[in-house]
Structure 1
Amino acid sequence: MKFSVIIPVYKNQDSIPRLLQAVTAMARELGGMMEVVFVVDGSPDRSFVLLRDALSELEFPAQLLAHSRNFGSFPAIRSGLAAARGDYFGVMAADLQEPPELVVAFFRALQADECDVAIGTRTRRNDSWSSRLTSGLFWALYRRLVVREMPEGGVDVFGCNRQFRDQLLGLQESRSSLIALIFWLGFRRKLVGYERLERQEGVSAWTLRKKIDYMLDSVFAFTDYPIRFLTRIGFMGCALSVMLAIIILVGHLSGRITVPGYAPTMLVVLFFGALNLLGLGLVGTYAWRAYENGKNRPLSVVAMSLKNKEDSND
């Protein structure tokens, strides 16, 4: 088995017939050296039943995994990657909005050793204007706050070789971002552009609430930007409080401020308010470093190791 296609499934019962036709065509194009791992992620519809009934009639090897409940798309992808048996792995969307040809392009690039991970990046979206607007805003914030290397169109699907798969599965983080981990790992990377197709069945399960949760998980798992922002505000607040304190003190001494107790009250509020923000930022910096160590990510990842000759004692 050379190629493994991982397909997370959630509320996709209407697209299952088209999906099976598409992966059958892919298997033929790849010379029968392809398996498919379907991962039904606690889907409440008949997706699992339809795939189970079709499993024995498929002309290519296939596995069907069922999560005990809905854990999310990225945990489903991880389950599929762990169960897959190929040398090259590609993730495919069950709604077929990412064209099947994209996964074949991943496999071609990986087999030709052009990269260790191939990433699909959207060059155009055939979605509603509201979906394009929210997705564009989401990925713009993602690039600004989490992964600066993220393509403008965002990333949903990817392909990788076995070495990259093993390293990715070795990162056991529950509240994290699989896509951000892909960029964090590094390795040789290739971006493959594609046009996102129009949805033909059902509605997207990628709701605004899930996008917000995913963004928060990504921010808290990959960047200390909020802590650094808080620290900067604290520093600027301290500087501003000193300037305002001088103005208030001059006003008090010159008799322009006549309200009893106003000057000392304002001085105390300004100074200790800014100091509080600065202190929270400094404490947060230590907490972030402890959190970073608690994630148990490797300090470095060896992508390749070569020797000019074997040790004579080996």
Structure 2
Amino acid sequence: MSYSVIVPVYKNADSIPRLIQALTDMNETLDGKLEVVFVVDGSPDESFALLKKELGNMSFSAQLLAHSRNFGSFPAIRTGLMAATGEYFGVMAADLQEPPELLISFFKSLSNDECDVAIGTRNARKDPLSSRMASSIFWGLYRRLVVHDMPKGGVDIFGCNKAFREQLLQLSESRSSLIALIFWLGFRRKFIEYERQVRQEGKSAWTFKKKLEYMMDSVFAFTDYPIKLLIRMGATGSIIALLIGLMVVAARLSGAIEVPGYAATMVVVLLLGTLNLLGLGLVGTYAWRAYENSKQRPLAIVCMKLNNQGTL
């Protein structure tokens, strides 16, 4: 098979018939060279049973994998990438909110050697206003704190070639962010815009709690911004505390403050409070460096080698 599509499945029983039809149409467009890897991520509904029943009737090559419990969509994507056998790989949501035509665009760009990883970026979405606002806030914070070149609409879907997949699978970190790893790896990227579709069946399992956990994992796995913030607060606070302390001492000497011990107490509280923040930031810097080394990410990645005979 030339093209492998990984489909994480969780609480998607109602959308499976429409999903299979969309994949059938995609297989025809790709001249029958499509492989689909369904990864049922501990779904409590009938998703696995429905896919198992239809497996023999599918017109395309398919694998059906099941996690022992719900590990999350990103581990499911990793499982699918490990099992896929194609030359080019794409990730597709089982709820079909990302149009299947986007995968065709990914595969076209990848097979034409225009990029190593194709990334879908949302230029519009037909979700309710509350969802759009929450998404804008989430991806805005993500751009500010984690990946500065993240598209404004965020990333939910991507495709890649075999070289990129191999490097991605070598980064076997837990409690991390797959999307941030895609940007961390580098390689040649191509952004392809699309309009996110209305969800027709069921409810999204991407809850506020999961978004918050994902944001925390992304921040702590990819940036030392909280530590730098502590250092800045501690340094700024120390300067302010010194100025206020001088004012308190001056007021005490001039007689403006008559309460015994007030000046000393204020100076000590202000100074020690800010020094604590500064100390936590400095200790956190050493802890962050140790944590970075414990992840054992490669120091550099070679994405291409050339000699006078051509590409190796």
Task: Pick the TM interval, shorter chain.
Answer: over 0.9
SS state of the match for residue 157, structure 2?
Answer: strand
- Aligned-partner Cα distance in 2 for 1:309–1:58: 43
- Which residue pairs with 1:58 in the alignment? 58
- Which residue pairs with 2:274 in the alignment? 274
SS state of the match for residue 56, structure 1?
Answer: helix
| Cα deviation, residue 308, structure 1 | 2.2
Would you say how many aligned residue pairs link Structure 1 and Structure 2?
Answer: 310
SS state of the match for residue 301, structure 2?
Answer: coil
- Which residue pairs with 2:146 in the alignment? 146
Counterpart residue identity of residue 273, structure 1? G
- Which residue pairs with 2:4 in the alignment? 4
SS state of the match for residue 206, structure 2?
Answer: coil
Q: State yes or no: 1:130 paired with 2:133.
A: no
Q: Deviations over 1:252-304 (max 9, x none)?
A: 00000101100001111111111111000000000000000000100011111
Q: State yes or no: 1:243 paired with 2:243.
A: yes
- More displaced stretch, 301-310 vs 217-226: 301-310
- More displaced stretch, 300-309 vs 87-96: 300-309
Counterpart residue identity of residue 25, structure 1? D
- Which residue pairs with 2:34 in the alignment? 34
SS state of the match for residue 173, structure 2?
Answer: coil
- Which residue pairs with 1:14 in the alignment? 14
- Which residue pairs with 2:231 in the alignment? 231
- Aligned-partner Cα distance in 2 for 1:34–1:213: 34
- Which residue pairs with 1:155 in the alignment? 155
Provide the TM-score with structure 1 as the length reference: 0.98
- Aligned-partner Cα distance in 2 for 1:73–1:248: 57
Q: Structure 1's 107 and 309: CA in aligned 2 closer, same or farther, altered over 3 A?
A: closer
| Cα deviation, residue 59, structure 1 | 1.1
| Cα deviation, residue 60, structure 1 | 1.0
- Aligned-partner Cα distance in 1 for 2:172–2:258: 63
- Aligned-partner Cα distance in 1 for 2:213–2:245: 42
- Which residue pairs with 1:307 in the alignment? 307
- Which residue pairs with 2:199 in the alignment? 199
After TM superposition, the runs of 4+ consecutive aligned structure 1 residues lying more than 2 A away are none
- Aligned-partner Cα distance in 2 for 1:30–1:308: 34
SS state of the match for residue 63, structure 2?
Answer: strand
SS state of the match for residue 156, structure 1?
Answer: coil
Counterpart residue identity of residue 72, structure 2? G
| Cα deviation, residue 309, structure 1 | 5.5
- Aligned-partner Cα distance in 1 for 2:241–2:255: 21
- RMSD value, Cα: 0.8
Counterpart residue identity of residue 219, structure 2? V
Q: State yes or no: 1:211 paired with 2:193.
A: no
Where does structure 1 lack aligned partners over 5 or more consecutive residues? none
- Which residue pairs with 2:101 in the alignment? 101
- Aligned-partner Cα distance in 1 for 2:263–2:67: 64
- Aligned-partner Cα distance in 2 for 1:276–1:301: 39
- Which residue pairs with 1:87 in the alignment? 87
Q: State yes or no: 1:24 paired with 2:27.
A: no
- Aligned-partner Cα distance in 1 for 2:249–2:193: 62
- Which residue pairs with 1:174 in the alignment? 174
SS state of the match for residue 268, structure 1?
Answer: helix
- Aligned-partner Cα distance in 1 for 2:305–2:266: 63
Provide the TM-score with structure 2 as the length reference: 0.99
- Aligned-partner Cα distance in 1 for 2:67–2:157: 20
Q: Deviations over 1:20-53 (max 9, x none)?
A: 0000000010001110000000000000000000
Counterpart residue identity of residue 187, structure 1? F
| Cα deviation, residue 67, structure 1 | 0.3
Q: Structure 1's 88 and 218: CA in aligned 2 closer, same or farther, altered over 3 A?
A: same
- Aligned-partner Cα distance in 2 for 1:102–1:236: 49
SS state of the match for residue 218, structure 1?
Answer: helix
Where does structure 2 lack aligned partners over 5 or more consecutive residues? none
| Cα deviation, residue 190, structure 1 | 0.2
Q: Deviations over 1:204-226 (max 9, x none)?
A: 00000000000000000000000
| Cα deviation, residue 110, structure 1 | 0.1
For residues 73-84 of structure 1, the aligned pairs below 5 Å read 73-84=73-84
| Cα deviation, residue 137, structure 1 | 0.4
SS state of the match for residue 306, structure 2?
Answer: coil
- Which residue pairs with 1:190 in the alignment? 190
Counterpart residue identity of residue 144, structure 1? R
- Which residue pairs with 1:45 in the alignment? 45
SS state of the match for residue 156, structure 2?
Answer: strand
- Which residue pairs with 1:253 in the alignment? 253
